[in-house]
């Protein structure tokens, strides 16, 4: 069972059909894939990694150690199921950036992360176009559904997973599916830890240098009426080494975007059997998700079905 690694170098050449087929297979059967030659320069990614690790050492390491001590996490004797072994902060890019407002970021890191966000936003939108093509949706459909009245929401969760004394008892990040649209992850190439659930087994996502890992969020599962599914994943803490770095960028619908299955992807048989995903406002889904992130996703969809009669469908934005 080999994790899908897709090289985009010849996407616009004679190998396009084969590459598109690999993306289609990965979306339908894995919900995850890893991209090489995705258009973001390796030297730039090296800079992002260096500055992120420096920022952790300078601004966050001591704070994390104090948190560990205050909660007694370094001496736990039983499995911990209500906290994660991670140090994080969140950068918001769209609709309004908060990068200028975070006082701990030095000027170089601030500038580089702003540039990083622009490159990831562009890649996310390019990938949504490839998914539209594979799904037989009209050009721009997914971007337009995500748009809402103010455009998509987009942000980056910057995480560090320091060495953990009890990795058998504390997860780096507990198992969950991602609530949003399409997620792009730049992860440490030296330290593994990310795993996804495939056919009842946890599978490692290989740490490849300069790659971007892509995964499907709950919103794309709804829009494709289950053709593409969000997949449970987790981070295993490591006992040794320097710790693991992870930058997960979430390209999500706008808060007031109405999410529902694309009509062309709903089979008549599914409609007759009422096996169609719900229709809801993204912000309402997020309020529910925040409270039950580490629980199964199916009850979330059922809860949204219960209130979907109140959701009004406006015209889809054209952008």
Alpha-carbon distance of 103 to 99, in angstroms, equals: 9
Query: Which one has a higher pLDDT value, 284 or 315?
Result: 284
Tell me the per-residue pLDDT of 218-227, one tens digit each, with 9 for 90 and over: 999 999 999 9
Q: How confident is the model at residue 317 (pLDDT cuts 50, 70, 90)?
A: low
Using a pLDDT cut of 70, give the percent of the chain over it. Answer: 97
Q: Which domains does the chain have, with CATH numbers?
A: 5-312 (2.60.120.330)
Choose the weakest-confidence range: 35-39, 70-74, 283-287. Answer: 70-74
Choose the weakest-confidence range: 80-94, 183-197, 268-282. Answer: 268-282
Sign of the torsion formed by the C-alpha atoms of 258, 260, 263 and 268: negative
Question: pTM score > 0.85 for this model?
Answer: yes
Give the model's pLDDT for residue 242: 83
24 within 8 A of 130, measured Cβ to Cβ: no
Bridge partners (DSSP) of residue 32 are: 215
Give the model's pLDDT for residue 307: 84
Q: Which tokens hold the place of 135?
A: 């799904």
Mean predicted lDDT score pLDDT of the chain: 93
The backbone torsions φ and ψ at residue 214, rounded to the nearest 5 degrees and listed phi first, read: -120, 135
Give the model's pLDDT for residue 153: 97
Q: Which tokens hold the place of 214?
A: 């892509």
Give the model's pLDDT for residue 81: 85
Q: Which tokens hold the place of 226?
A: 């289950």
- Could you give the C-alpha distances from 274 to 119, 180, 268, 278, 305, in angstroms and in order? 40, 24, 10, 10, 11
Q: How confident is the model at residue 77 (pLDDT cuts 50, 70, 90)?
A: confident
Average pLDDT of span 209-230: 98
Q: Is the model's pLDDT at 315 over the cut of 60?
A: no
Q: How confident is the model at residue 313 (pLDDT cuts 50, 70, 90)?
A: low
Tell me the per-residue pLDDT of 150-182, one tens digit each, with 9 for 90 and over: 999 999 999 999 999 989 999 999 999 999 999
Q: How confident is the model at residue 316 (pLDDT cuts 50, 70, 90)?
A: low
Tell me the per-residue pLDDT of 97-140, one tens digit each, with 9 for 90 and over: 999 999 999 999 999 999 999 999 999 999 999 999 999 999 99
Tell me the per-residue pLDDT of 6-52, one tens digit each, with 9 for 90 and over: 999 999 999 999 999 999 999 999 999 999 999 999 999 999 999 99
From edge to edge, which strands make up the β-sheet containing 233-235? 173-176, 233-235, 194-198, 201-204
């Amino acid at each position: 069972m080999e994790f899908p690694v897709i090289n985009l170098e010849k996407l616009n050449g004679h190998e396009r059909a084969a590459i598109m087929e690999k993306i289609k297979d990965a979306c339908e059967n894995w919900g995850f894939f890893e991209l090489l030659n995705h258009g973001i320069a390796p030297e730039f990614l090296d800079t992002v990694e260096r500055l992120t690790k420096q920022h952790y050492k300078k601004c966050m390491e001591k704070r994390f150690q104090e948190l560990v001590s205050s909660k007694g996490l370094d001496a736990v004797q039983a499995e911990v199921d209500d906290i994660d072994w991670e140090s994080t902060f969140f950068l918001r890019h769209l609709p309004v950036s908060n990068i200028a407002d975070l006082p701990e970021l030095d000027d170089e890191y601030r500038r580089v992360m702003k540039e990083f966000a622009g490159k990831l936003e562009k890649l996310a939108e390019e990938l949504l176009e490839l998914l539209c093509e594979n799904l037989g949706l009209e050009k721009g459909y997914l971007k337009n559904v995500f748009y809402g009245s103010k455009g998509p929401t987009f942000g980056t969760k910057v995480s560090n997973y320091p060495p953990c004394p009890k990795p058998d008892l504390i997860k780096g990040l507990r198992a969950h599916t991602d609530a949003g649209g399409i997620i792009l992850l730049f992860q440490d190439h030296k330290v593994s830890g990310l795993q996804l659930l495939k056919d009842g087994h946890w599978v490692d996502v290989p740490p490849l240098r300069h790659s971007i890992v892509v995964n499907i969020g709950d919103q794309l599962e709804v829009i494709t009426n289950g053709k593409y599914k969000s997949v449970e994943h987790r981070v295993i803490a490591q006992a040794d080494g320097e710790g693991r770095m992870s930058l997960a960028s979430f390209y999500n619908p706008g808060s007031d975007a109405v999410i529902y299955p694309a009509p062309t992807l709903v089979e008549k048989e599914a409609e007759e059997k009422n096996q169609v995903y719900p229709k809801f406002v993204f912000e309402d889904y997020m309020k529910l998700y925040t409270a039950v992130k580490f629980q199964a996703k199916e009850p979330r969809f059922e809860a949204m079905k219960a209130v979907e009669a109140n959701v009004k469908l406006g015209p889809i934005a054209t952008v």
